[in-house]
Amino acid sequence: MAGIKALVALSFSGAIGLTFLMLGCALESYKVYWPLFVLIFYAISPIPYFIAIRISDDTDAASSACRELAFFFTTGIVVSAFGLPIVLARVGVILWGACGLVLAGNAVIFLTILGFFIVFGRSDDFSWEQW
């Protein structure tokens, strides 16, 4: 039952983050959809970690070079997702209010992704077969 509550909470926070992103794009005073390119960063941010877990054989080690490289690439992706709206606002493509909404959405979405890995990444009795 705890897994279901966590899944509902994570989906709710993901919906809030995407709402901030959509508000930054679709409000009457903004009407520019360039910030939607951060959706690409949302999709590719967990990929290095998934690859590192798949390649890494030693699960007992606290750290490995493969995992550290995956964390490095993931950090670069997350920083790029926060940097894109700032660059777009600095150049004048989007307004600063839209930039703030997109940054708030980024924070919520990436915390949701982190929460997913914390809740469902640990090796306990939870398994996807129960769904």
39: nearest Cα among 81, 2, 86, 80: 81
One-letter amino acid at 36 equals L
Check pLDDT > 70 for residue 123.
Answer: no
Q: Using 50, 70 and 90 to split pLDDT, how confident is the model at 58?
A: low
Quickly count: other Cβ atoms within 10 Å of residue 40's Cβ: 13
Q: Cα 29 to chain center, whole Å? A: 26
Q: Using 50, 70 and 90 to split pLDDT, how confident is the model at 127?
A: low
Q: Using 50, 70 and 90 to split pLDDT, how confident is the model at 53?
A: confident
How far is the C-alpha of 56 from the C-alpha of 78, rounded, in Å? Answer: 22
Which 8-state DSSP code applies to residue 64? -
Question: What is the pLDDT averaged over residues 106-122?
Answer: 91
Which pLDDT score is estimated for 52? 87
Which pLDDT score is estimated for 55? 84
Check pLDDT > 80 for residue 37.
Answer: yes
Q: Using 50, 70 and 90 to split pLDDT, how confident is the model at 29?
A: very high
Check pLDDT > 70 for residue 98.
Answer: yes
What is 7-59 written as a DSSP string?
HHHHHHHHHHHHHHHHHHHHSTTT---GGGGHHHHHHHTTHHHHHHHHH---S
Burial of 71 (0-12, 13-18, 19+ CB in 10 A): middle
Which pLDDT score is estimated for 64? 81
Around 5, how many Cα atoms within 13 Å sit in the side-chain half-sphere? 2
Q: Tell me: the pLDDT tens digits for 86-95?
A: 999 999 999 9
Residue ranges per structural domain of the chain: 9-121
